[in-house]
Every structure is written in structure tokens, then in C-alpha cells.
Amino acid sequence: MKRLISIVMFLAVALSATAAKPKIDIKHVEPLSWWVDMTMPLQIMVNGEAIAECNVEILPAGSGVEVTAIHKADSPNYIFVDVAISDDAKAGDYTLRFTNGKRKYDYTYTIAERSEGSRERESFTTADFVYLIMPDRFANGNPANDSTDDTVEKADRKNPGRRHGGDLEGMIAHLDYIADLGATAIWSTPLLLDDENGASYHGYSCSDYYRIDPRYGSNELFKTYVEECHKHGLKVIMDIVPNHSSTSHWWYNDQPFKDWTHQWDKYTQSNWTFSTNMDFNASKADLYQMESGWFDSSMADMNLDNPYLLRYFQQWAIWWIEYSGLDGFRVDTYPYNEKMPMSEWCAAVMAEYPNFNIVGEVWTSSIPQLAYWQGGNYNKDGFNSHLKSIMDFPLHDAIRVAMTESGDKFDWGKGMTRVYDVVSHDFVYHDLSNMMIMVANHDTDRIADVCEGNARKMKIVTTLLCTMRGMPQMLYGDELMFRSTDRRRGHPTLRVDFPGGWEGDAVNLFDRNEHEGDQKEVFDFTRTLMNWRKSKEVIHTGKTLHFIDRDNTYAYFRYNDTDVVFVYINNSASERTVPWGRYAEISENLSEGRDVITGEKVVMDNIKVKPMSVLIVEFSR
């Protein structure tokens, strides 16, 4: 009897000990994998219940891959594991062994071979023309994934503010259209999981940084998309958002550190005043609210001053480049991040890929404030962002306003003089070749709305895009004069579906045979100019010489040692005669050229340009 009691007691103690050491449950390991021969040291974030109680080792031992440190977080459900990968380590599958007393859990972690030439990959440059797509509104290649069981918002194409079903398969299906148009790079708005309850189609509220939204496809399909783009001669620019994540992100209710996101006693928005970054007179309180205030109640503002978060985002960016073969990044709301950590972020990406290009959204009409954010710019405070490219919003604003001033009578400084004035400030910028120019994007009114559906104005803005300095970007459908369905309702109605992207659409505008009237005229003009631009080194890297006039015209030359391109914009309501003799300092000895649009010979003698029209002539020196 005593022996039986002893056995029972022994079993009870054993069971109690087992209960005290529950099964090790790993929920997230990020980055998802890594590679040999990388510059960035590997730090793996592991998430799992009470994971901080675990020790971690990497097997097999002696393989050149080993754990060098384990860092605990404020939450017991996270650890950050530093891993050293020696120069002679082999690519393959390794085992992360987690142990907790008598419990152990083995997790397979892949350290792969890098693709040949990965480090030296080229990126987008002035030789490229960037086509901006909003995936949900472009084409629906797979209706079966319009709504999924593991995401909250379901498709409702009748509602302009809801998901419509566009996806990666739809994008892949129409790469021929984009390449034929003359684009050489695609920037799509974010494709990562955005699992908000409503209006999640825009993608700027990320719920998982390592997962393509299943309503678009999968990580594997995104990789296929990049490969297919490359086959079509198209580079891929990924839109990323380190400034904020969604409150639906899996980490939001159990953050690794108390300062992982910016915390406030009550909800506090950013004051949107990023001039506080360079304003000597700005208060610290205003600067703090600018970079720490939230964008929206559903967008938690990330704190990049936390070194573990900064490393997380550096590795995340590098992972997507290496995993999928990316060619560039566009960074959303760039100045709202903490500027010094973001400078380190840019530097880390560039250290891994020296030729890579990153363009930052710096939405300001102030030229000095814009110039401040381009890497290498001379700033009085010594700040260097290491951000290679910036988006030229001052030029964007000037062109759009000028298109509303197409008459003959206007005040000083209006009409095309606005564009001249912006270009006259080019001396402020550190690197004119790394400026993205545009007349519209997914956050602005459609340029065809600004131009009131006037095909002649649309050809003016296309001419400016294709012939001015910098890297041009066009919003999908602008080549076909897409207009908002209801401008009063803002973003959802300017982000229109591309007709023909959905089964049953009444018209298919991906098919050039279905283009008619002004739409066809603008498309053909745009296609001709974009394809001409591809091989024009004088446009890619040539200098600019421009001339001021007060009659709502604008004349400029792009030139190098061998070629000259003359552009004359008549934005007035009257016919104008090109004053060729006025341009003698460059036009002397340039008498006969070729009209870029018609292909016909042009003799520059008493040439007249119709109202709201353009003339583009190329010469050989």
C-alpha cells in the first residue's frame, strides 16, 4: 500500500513538473530566412509564449553558423537572437533548437545561397519611365481570392472605398500592355497584408511585414511577378511603409518593447509639420509630435529610435530585395520617420546593394525643404539622409496649376512661368538625376480632372514628363485620360478600376483596338513619346537650357555633345510663332531637325505652334 502511494505521489510530481514546462510554441520567426555572404549581421526576432525562458542554439555545431547573443525584450514572449555566419559557412537548412528545462523544440531555418550578381544589381535611373499601379484597381486575374477566410474585409466592387479584387495575377496578365506603352519600371502601391476592417485596399496599413496579402496572391507569386516583369524589360519598385503599421498587426497587442510604437496618454495625431526637422526655431515639442504622432487611429506610429525595431526594418527591406529580386524601393511618408534612424536604414540597404535606388515621398512645395532630404545634400546641421532619390512635388504642383491657366491673360508669375521658376531653382538640389518627377499619383486628383478632359493639355503634361530632367512616373490610366468617378468623394473615386481588368467589363482598354477619340489620341501620343525616350541619352543625362517668356509659353533644350532636343510648350489660347533667333546661343547651326511625334523633317524657320500644343524637335550636332 505504501509503495502504491509512493508511485502515485511520484507520478503527481512528475506531471506537475511537466505542466510547469509547457510545450514550446513558436508563433513567428523573422526574418523568414537569410543568406550567406551578406553584409548585414543577422538578428532573428522570435515570438512565442514565454519564449524568453528558452535557450537557443544552432545545429549542427561547428558549421560556421552560431548564436552569439540572446536579447530579452520587455514582453516575455519575444527574444532577439544574434547569429554569426562565417565566411566559409555553407548554404542549407539549419536547426534552431529552443530548450526550456526538459522541453525542446527544433525549428528549421534556411540560410540560402545568394543569386549571382545580387549585390551588384542595377536599379531605376533617369533612363527609366515608372508606371504606378494600384493593384486592387488594375486587373482581377483570380476572382477566387477576392475575399479570403483569413482576412476581414471582403470584396465589394460597387463600393469605391472597398476592395475590388485586383491582384498579382491580373498585373502579370497585362505586363505586355505596360511594356508596349513604353514604361520600363513598375511601382505598385503596397502588396503586403493590410487586414483592416474597411478601406484596406490601399495597403498602407501593414498587418504583416513578411506576407503578401492573400487577396493579391502569395509571397511565391510575388516572386514570380518580379521574374515576369524582368522578362518584359520592367524593373520592380516596392512601396514600403516603415513609419506606421496597422493596429491589426499580429504584434500590436503584445509589443516586444514598451517603446516599439509611440505611446500617448490619449490618441494624438502628427502635426504634419516636417519642417521641424530642419527648422532652427522649431520647438522640441513640435518636432516630437511630428515624428511620434500617429497618422490615423488605425496606424500605429513606429519608433525607429528602438534599435531592435530599426534592425528589424533594415533586415526586412534586405530580405525582400534578396528573396524576390527587387530593383528599388519607394518609401511612404519619409520625413515622418525619425530622421537619424532612417538615415541608418538607408545606409544599411545601400551597403548591401551599392547600386540600389530608394525614392522617398517628401510631400512639400518648399524646394529647400525637399532638397534637405536627398542624401549628400549640403545641410547646415550636417544631416545626411543617405536617401538617394526624392519626389519632385514642387514641379508637380507648378505643372498642375499651370494647366488651369491656359489663357492669354494672366498675372505675373502664372502659367508656364510657374514651371520655369521651379526649374530655375535646380541649383538647390544635390543630384538632379535622382529626382522622380510626376504630375499625379494615387493620392492626388487625376491629371485628366485637372486638365478638365482636354486632350491638348494632357499632351502638354506628357511632354513635360518625357523630356524634363529626372525620372518620370505616371499613374495608371493617365495615358488614357482616366477621370475620377466623383471628385467630391476623394481618394476612392480617383482610384478607378482599369476597364477590361474584370470579366464582364463593357470595354477593354488594355486592347488598343478599343481606344477611341481623344482617349486614343492621348494614348498614341504618350506611347510614341515614352518609347522614343527609352533610347535618348540626351534626355536621360543631358543638361537643360531654358528661356523665359511672359506669353504662357515655355521653351527649353536638352543637350549633350552629340544631340539636342528642343521643346516648345504653347499653353496659351493663341497660336504662337517660335522665336528661333532668340535661342541663338544654342540654336545657331541647328536649322533642320526631326519632329519627334510625326517623324517628319522640320526646318526651324517661321514655325507656328497651335494653342495649347507642343513642338518637340531633335537635332544631331
Q: Calculate mean pLDDT across residues 337-343.
A: 97
Run of H or E residues at 461: helix 455-467
Q: Where are the beta strands (DSSP E) in 92-142?
A: 92-100, 103-112, 130-133
Q: Which residues contact 424 (CB under 8 A, 6 or more apart)?
A: 546
Q: Calculate mean pLDDT across residues 304-322.
A: 98
Judge whether residue 185 has pLDDT over 90: yes
Residue 391 to residue 370: CA distance in whole angstroms: 8
Q: Calculate mean pLDDT across residues 531-553.
A: 96
Per-residue pLDDT tens digits for 19-58: 445 689 999 999 999 999 999 999 999 999 999 999 999 9
List the one residue out of 554, 559, 562 whose CA is nearest residue 544: 559
Where residue 172 falls among pLDDT bands split at 50, 70, 90? very high
Give 428's strand partners. Answer: none
Catalytic-labelled residue, pool 361, 478, 497, 618: 361
Q: DSSP readout, 178-196?
A: HHHHT--EEEES--EE---
Judge whether residue 583 has pLDDT over 90: yes
Phi-psi region at 71: left, alpha or beta (left = phi > 0; alpha = psi -120 to 50) = beta
Q: What does the pLDDT read at residue 19? A: 47
Contact 548, 419 (CB under 8 A): no
Q: What does the pLDDT read at residue 409? A: 67
Give 188's strand partners. Answer: 133, 238
Q: What does the pLDDT read at residue 162? A: 96
Q: What does the pLDDT read at residue 412? A: 77
| Sign of the dihedral through C-alpha 264, 269, 274, 276 | negative
Where residue 223 falls among pLDDT bands split at 50, 70, 90? very high
Please tell me the least confidently modeled range out of 38-47, 232-241, 584-593.
584-593
Q: Calculate mean pLDDT across residues 14-22.
A: 48
Per-residue pLDDT tens digits for 364-375: 999 999 999 999
Judge whether residue 317 has pLDDT over 90: yes
Q: What does the pLDDT read at residue 318? A: 98
List the one residue out of 353, 393, 350 whose CA is nearest residue 371: 393
Q: Which residues contact 107 (CB under 8 A, 6 or more apart)?
A: 26, 29, 95, 96, 97, 98
Any idea which residue has 478638365 for its cell?
A: 452
Q: What is the largest CA-CA distance in the chain?
A: 120
Average pLDDT, the chain: 95
List the one residue out of 557, 325, 359, 387 whose CA is nearest residue 472: 359
Residue 333 to residue 248: CA distance in whole angstroms: 20
Judge whether residue 280 has pLDDT over 90: yes
Per-residue pLDDT tens digits for 112-129: 999 999 999 999 999 999
Please tell me the least confidently modeled range out of 431-445, 478-492, 511-525.
478-492
Q: What does the pLDDT read at residue 384? A: 98
Q: Calculate mean pLDDT across residues 331-345.
A: 97
The residue type at 185: A
How far the first Cα of the chain sits from its last, in Å, is: 111
Give 192's strand partners. Answer: 212
Judge whether residue 327 has pLDDT over 70: yes
**∠50-56-62 over CA atoms, to 5°?**
175
Q: What does the pLDDT read at residue 486? A: 87
- Please confirm, yes or no, whether 521 is among the known catalytic residues: no
Burial of 499 from C-beta contacts in 10 A (0-12 / 13-18 / 19+): middle
Domains and CATH numbers, the chain: 21-112 (2.60.40.10), 542-620 (2.60.40.1180)
Give the torsion through C-alpha atoms of 305, 309, 314, 319, to 10 deg: -170
Rg (CA), the chain: 28
Kindly report the pTM of this predicted structure. 0.95
Q: Calculate mean pLDDT across residues 544-554.
A: 95
- Please confirm, yes or no, whether 122 is among the known catalytic residues: no
Judge whether residue 18 has pLDDT over 90: no
Q: What does the pLDDT read at residue 488? A: 82
Q: Which long-range contacts (CB under 8 A, 24 or more apart) does 486-493 make?
A: 486/160, 487/445, 487/449, 489/160, 491/202, 491/442, 491/443, 492/160, 492/161, 492/199, 493/160
Residue 501 to residue 171: CA distance in whole angstroms: 9
Percent of the chain at pLDDT exceeding 70: 96
Catalytic-labelled residue, pool 332, 352, 478, 497: 332
Q: Calculate mean pLDDT across residues 374-378.
A: 97
Residue 324 to residue 352: CA distance in whole angstroms: 15
Give 237's strand partners. Answer: 187, 328
Q: What does the pLDDT read at residue 102? A: 81
Q: What does the pLDDT read at residue 410? A: 67
The residue type at 76: P
